């Protein structure tokens, strides 16, 4: 028998490596022949081959064993769609259900609690919106709570995704909530009307409850005892609404009387009648004429605002052009491009304007105090070296944060940048959390958990928002430099990605837009990563 020239030097037997390669038919013919001949005459090597062969079978059996059924989530074939109906349905049903929950359960409960003196509203106002000026936000607060419930509904749906993996399941669950809107709520019923295509509540008729109406042209000449919630092309109110008006419309004309608040999401809004409480509008063009009176405060996000009628409370506005000719009992705080205070205007409190130029104040205007001007710089000073130095510093700060994060939690860092690959999902989730968390924090501060949790959450949220650029930067770097392994490539990717983001950031118009995209995207990637890890931990704990 010839001694094999393969294997362990100084031994008459071949080694384990050679045995394995022989069994796996990876040796060339000559070496295979040598091993075969040797093992035929060598019991020890024959025994080695036998146990290695058994080990292969043992390993293969263990590895290919069908011990786990396919998860329910994977039952259906994945399909990439631009607008998953399940999530849209979830959002819609969630919103409807949340509103019902809010108006039918939470709000009456809060009212009852408030009646017996249990409320944290004042504390929140003091902490977040201190000063009499911000009293106007108490109105915003209600709308914020409403939005919060919608957001929380969607967040809850997302969190429950683990249990309802398929979108249809989630939609169905949220749909159950949505159906609640059809159920009669004691002492809080509502009438729902669909215009054909328009709807008119004639003069002399009265709706004793809330009125939900959708139509092309909605005309309210009669009386609505509760709230009026309307989706329409045009809305005209000549009668009386004793509750609030919530309008989603192109044009809102309010010539009648509103006992509560007006909240409008519209192209234009003209108020020609009295409003008992506050006005809040996301409206392109707002006109409050002389016949109108706003009993509370006005909070406006608009391009053009003309105020001729009196506002008893404060005015808070972000507006392109603001013209004030009426009386404002409280403070005025305006941020915009252009402000004119007419000769018939009166302001009982402080007047503050933030913009690129001084407001025009007519001679006859009566202001309780001089206008406090905050001059806003129109564009960054590209010609100064300090501007670029600051950009470098900002890049350095972001890189440092990324470095620390990578060293402390490399798995989260890399998983989050990997999750940024799911662009659509990450941005959707990011947007949800970007909006939802502040709202949830306010709710936590006011009603549910408490101030400490709320503020802590908010601080973490701010850090996460800042960190978002790190994940997107790493993702961008990877796209350009490839997937290198090791600390060096990771940091190189991060540095390059952040540098590119910083360069984009300084481009006029594109820069601010890119900042929001990066925040939404990176935040979503981070949330996806945390969710995945939490899911894994829960699964591990329950196993």
Partner 1 sequence: MERRKTAGEMNSTELAELLSRVRAGDSDAWGELYRGYAPAIFRFCRRALPSREDAEDATNEVFMKVRQKLGTYDSSRPFTAWLYKVASNHCWDMLRRRRIRQDLETGDVETLPLEHPDPGQLERLQEEHTSKEVRAGLDKLPDRARMALVLRYFGDMSYDEIAETLGVRRAFVGVLLLRARHQLREILQGGAESAREATAGGKL
**What residues make contact with partner 1 under the rule CB under 8 A?**
7-8, 11, 13, 15-17, 20-21, 24, 26, 44-45, 47-48, 50-51, 54-56, 58-68, 70-71, 73-74, 76-80, 410-411, 414-415, 417-418, 483, 485-487, 490, 532, 535-536, 539-540
Minimum distance between the CB of residue 375 and partner 1, rounded to whole angstroms? 48
Strand partners, 266: 249, 283
Contact 348, 368 (CB under 8 A): yes
Distance CA 409, CA 326 (A): 58
Identity of the residue, 381 or 542, whose beta carbon is nearer to partner 1 in the bound complex: 542
Closest CA to 535 of 165, 123, 187: 165
Identity of the residue, 50 or 376, whose beta carbon is nearer to partner 1 in the bound complex: 50
Identity of the residue, 298 or 426, whose beta carbon is nearer to partner 1 in the bound complex: 426
Identity of the residue, 10 or 186, whose beta carbon is nearer to partner 1 in the bound complex: 10
Burial class for 413, CB neighbours closer than 10 Å (0-12, 13-18, 19+): buried
The pair of structure tokens assigned to 494 is 């991060």
The pair of structure tokens assigned to 52 is 């290695």
Contact 309, 271 (CB under 8 A): yes
Minimum distance between the CB of residue 42 and partner 1, rounded to whole angstroms? 11
Cα within 13 Å of Cα(300), Cβ side: 35
Which three-class secondary structure state does DSSP give residue 198? coil
Distance CA 535, CA 543 (A): 12
Identity of the residue, 17 or 88, whose beta carbon is nearer to partner 1 in the bound complex: 17
Count CB-CB contacts under 10 A for residue 28.
8
Closest CA to 226 of 270, 191, 273, 193: 191
Identity of the residue, 6 or 515, whose beta carbon is nearer to partner 1 in the bound complex: 6
Identity of the residue, 255 or 418, whose beta carbon is nearer to partner 1 in the bound complex: 418
Identity of the residue, 172 or 414, whose beta carbon is nearer to partner 1 in the bound complex: 414
Minimum distance between the CB of residue 402 and partner 1, rounded to whole angstroms? 14
Contact 523, 430 (CB under 8 A): yes
Minimum distance between the CB of residue 417 and partner 1, rounded to whole angstroms? 8
Identity of the residue, 76 or 450, whose beta carbon is nearer to partner 1 in the bound complex: 76
Minimum distance between the CB of residue 472 and partner 1, rounded to whole angstroms? 15
Distance CA 36, CA 31 (A): 8
Count CB-CB contacts under 10 A for residue 408.
9
Minimum distance between the CB of residue 8 and partner 1, rounded to whole angstroms? 4
Residue labelled with tokens 């972001």 = 398
Q: Where are the alpha helices (DSSP H) in 307-365?
A: none
Contact 368, 352 (CB under 8 A): no
Contact 94, 153 (CB under 8 A): yes
Minimum distance between the CB of residue 436 and partner 1, rounded to whole angstroms? 24
The pair of structure tokens assigned to 531 is 């969710």
Identity of the residue, 45 or 110, whose beta carbon is nearer to partner 1 in the bound complex: 45
Count CB-CB contacts under 10 A for residue 263.
23
Identity of the residue, 51 or 362, whose beta carbon is nearer to partner 1 in the bound complex: 51
Burial class for 79, CB neighbours closer than 10 Å (0-12, 13-18, 19+): exposed
- Sequence-ordered list of residues with C-beta below 8 angstroms from that of 217, at least 6 positions apart, any chain: 195, 197, 198, 199, 232, 233, 234, 235, 236
Identity of the residue, 212 or 413, whose beta carbon is nearer to partner 1 in the bound complex: 413
Contact 402, 501 (CB under 8 A): no
Residue labelled with tokens 């600051």 = 390
């Amino acid at each position: 028998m010839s001694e094999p020239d393969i294997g362990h030097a100084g031994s008459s037997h071949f080694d384990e490596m050679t045995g394995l390669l022989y069994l796996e038919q990876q040796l060339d013919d000559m070496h295979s022949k040598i091993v075969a001949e040797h093992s035929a005459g060598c019991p020890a090597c024959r025994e080695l081959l036998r146990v290695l062969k058994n080990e292969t079978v043992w390993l293969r059996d263990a590895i290919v064993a069908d011990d786990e059924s396919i998860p329910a989530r994977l039952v259906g074939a994945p399909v990439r769609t631009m607008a998953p109906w399940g999530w849209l349905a979830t959002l819609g049903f969630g919103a409807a259900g949340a509103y019902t929950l809010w108006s039918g359960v939470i709000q009456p409960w809060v009212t009852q609690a408030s009646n017996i003196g249990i409320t944290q509203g004042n504390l929140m106002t003091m902490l977040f919106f201190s000063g009499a000026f911000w009293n106007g936000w108490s109105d915003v607060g209600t709308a914020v709570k409403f939005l919060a419930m919608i957001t929380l509904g969607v967040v809850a749906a997302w969190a429950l995704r683990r249990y309802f993996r398929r979108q249809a399941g989630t939609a169905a669950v949220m749909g159950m909530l949505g159906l609640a809107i059809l159920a009669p709520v004691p002492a809080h019923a509502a009438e729902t009307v669909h215009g054909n295509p328009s709807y008119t509540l004639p003069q002399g008729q009265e709706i004793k409850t809330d009125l939900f109406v959708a139509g092309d042209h909605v005309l309210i000449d009669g009386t609505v005892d509760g709230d009026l919630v309307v989706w329409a092309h045009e809305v005209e109110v000549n009668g009386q609404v004793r509750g609030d008006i919530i309008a989603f419309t192109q044009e809102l004309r309010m010539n009648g009387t509103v006992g509560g608040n007006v909240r409008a999401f519209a192209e234009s809004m003209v108020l020609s009648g009295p409003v008992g409480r506050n006005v809040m509008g996301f409206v392109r063009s707002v006109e409050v004429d002389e016949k109108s009176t706003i009993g509370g405060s006005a909070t406006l996000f608009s391009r053009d605002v003309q105020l001729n009628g009196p506002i008893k409370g404060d005015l808070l506005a972000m507006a392109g052009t603001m013209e004030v000719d009426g009386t404002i009992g409280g403070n005025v705080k305006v941020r915009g491009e252009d402000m004119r205070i007419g000769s018939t205007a009166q302001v009982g409190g402080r007047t503050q304007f933030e913009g690129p130029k001084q407001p025009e104040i007519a001679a006859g205007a009566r202001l309780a105090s001089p206008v406090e001007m905050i001059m806003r710089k129109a564009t960054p000073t590209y010609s100064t070296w300090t501007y670029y130095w600051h950009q470098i510093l900002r890049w350095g700060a972001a890189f440092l944060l990324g470095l620390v994060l990578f060293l402390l939690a490399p798995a989260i860092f890399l998983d989050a940048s990997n999750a940024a690959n799911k662009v659509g999902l990450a941005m959707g989730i990011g947007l949800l959390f970007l909006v939802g968390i502040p709202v949830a924090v306010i709710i936590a501060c006011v009603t549910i958990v408490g101030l400490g949790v709320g503020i802590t959450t908010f601080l973490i949220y701010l850090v996460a928002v800042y960190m978002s650029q790190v994940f997107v930067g790493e993702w961008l770097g990877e796209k350009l430099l490839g997937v290198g392994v090791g600390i060096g490539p990771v940091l190189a990717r991060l540095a390059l990605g952040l540098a590119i983001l910083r360069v984009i950031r300084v481009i006029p118009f594109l820069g601010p837009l890119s900042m929001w995209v990066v925040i939404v995207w990176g935040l979503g990637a981070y949330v996806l990563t945390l969710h995945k890890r939490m899911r894994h931990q829960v699964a591990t704990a329950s196993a």
